[in-house]
Structure 1
Amino acid sequence: MTQSQMTPAPTQQMQECIEACMSCHSMCEETMSSCMQKGGGQQQMQIMRALLDCTEMTRMCADMMMRRSPMSAEMCMLCAKVCDMCAEACMSMPDDQQMMRCAEACRRCAQTCRAMAGAGM
């Protein structure tokens, strides 16, 4: 039995969600690096916690979809919530272009994850 016979190819919707998760993961990592270079106070620390949560969740969500975990739908729903929280945190610094790009990546990921969760995989 070949690998393709054991595991069906990902649907277009799943592939888009995996890509959105990985793109969001990368953007949050870049944004965290930018935050660390700037330093900052309590607000910056709250944003960094949100970014860290989002990087971990998006990576795990993509991994679970790729291996067809039976928990993927639930993970996608949780990932959408974490991405929404991260987008809100980034939006608290509207003058920072990196934060705005990150918020956009988080919103796109949340949207695709909600769609995947609704699809029932």
Structure 2
Amino acid sequence: MTQQSAAATPMSKEMQDCVNACMSCHSICEETMSSCLQMTDQAPTRIMRALMDCSEMTRMCADMMMRRSPLATEMCAMCAKACDLSAEACMSMPDDERMTRCAESCRRCAESCRAMAGATM
């Protein structure tokens, strides 16, 4: 299959679900970073770094899947790692509702990305 015909092929439901999970995770990571910046006590640097990495990776991963990049499979694997680290960092503040919601979104995205990383795109 040529690159042009691959892009013309409709996305599978699994790939579309992964793109949606990535975009949702990207959005909540951005919102959580904004919330962290407004906290009276500073959010730990580790959490902010994890959120930034996850936000960037999920956006890039979705973009690569949508354009059927030959690197999308590897990107999905890296994205899953970034999401796992972000979820872990967010759960270091388990009493914060936004952090908990962000961690849940990161976990869903990581699961979807891991599935896509094992799929042939």
Same fold flag (TM > 0.5):
yes
Provide structure 1 residue ranges, at least 5 long, that are not aligned to the other structure. none
Q: Whole-Å Cα distance in 1 between the matches of residues 71 and 5 of structure 2? A: 21
Name the residue aligned to 1:117.
117
* 1:68-94 Cα deviation digits (max 9, x unpaired): 000000000000000000000000000
CA deviation after TM superposition for structure 1 residue 120, in Å: 2.1
AA in 1 matched with 2:100? M
Percent identity over paired residues: 67
Q: CA RMSD in A?
A: 1.6
Change in Cα spacing, 1:6 to 1:101, as seen in structure 2 (3 Å) is closer
How do 1:94-113 residues align onto structure 2 when only pairs under 5 Å count? 94-113=94-113
Structure 2 matches for 1:21-100, cutoff 5 A? 21-41=22-42, 44-100=44-100
Q: Of Structure 1 and Structure 2, which has the larger fraction of its residues in helix? A: 1
Following TM superposition, where does structure 1 have runs of at least 4 consecutive aligned residues deviating by more than 2 angstroms? 3-6
1:39 Cα shift? Answer: 4.7
**Cα offset for 1:4?**
8.1
Query: Per-residue deviation at 1:107?
Result: 0.1
State how many pairs are aligned.
118
Gaps (5+ residues) in structure 2? Answer: none
Matched AA of 1:87: A
Q: Structure 1 length normalisation: TM-score?
A: 0.92
The Cα of 1:44 is off from its aligned counterpart by 1.8
